[in-house]
């Protein structure tokens, strides 16, 4: 069981966490292929962050 201090620390940490959600809908197009590719990556979060970093470098 978590102590009150642990609960407060977890709550404070969660308030600092940011989240982005991507949804893939069953519509015509290549969403299925994109979804399958992303899910095949070993670390999806790091993969997406690297894509964004690369994009940021090319646009600056």
Is residue 6 pLDDT above 90, yes or no?
A: yes
Instruction: Say what the pTM is.
Output: 0.70
Is residue 29 pLDDT above 90, yes or no?
A: no
Distance CA 51, CA 1 (A): 39
Is residue 27 pLDDT above 90, yes or no?
A: no
Question: Looking at residue 1, what is its pLDDT?
Answer: 87
Q: How confident is the model at residue 30 (pLDDT cuts 50, 70, 90)?
A: confident
Residue ranges of domains in the chain: 18-59
Task: Report, as an integer, the average pLDDT of 39-58.
Answer: 96
Angle formed by the axes of helices 44-59 and 31-39, to 10°? 110
- As a whole number of Å, the end-to-end CA separation of the chain is 49
């Amino acid at each position: 069981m978590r102590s009150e201090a642990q609960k407060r620390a977890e709550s404070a940490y969660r308030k600092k966490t940011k989240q982005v959600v991507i949804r893939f809908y069953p519509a015509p197009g290549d969403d299925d292929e994109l979804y399958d590719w992303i899910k095949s990556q070993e670390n999806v979060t790091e993969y997406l962050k690297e894509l964004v970093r690369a994009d940021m470098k090319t646009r600056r």
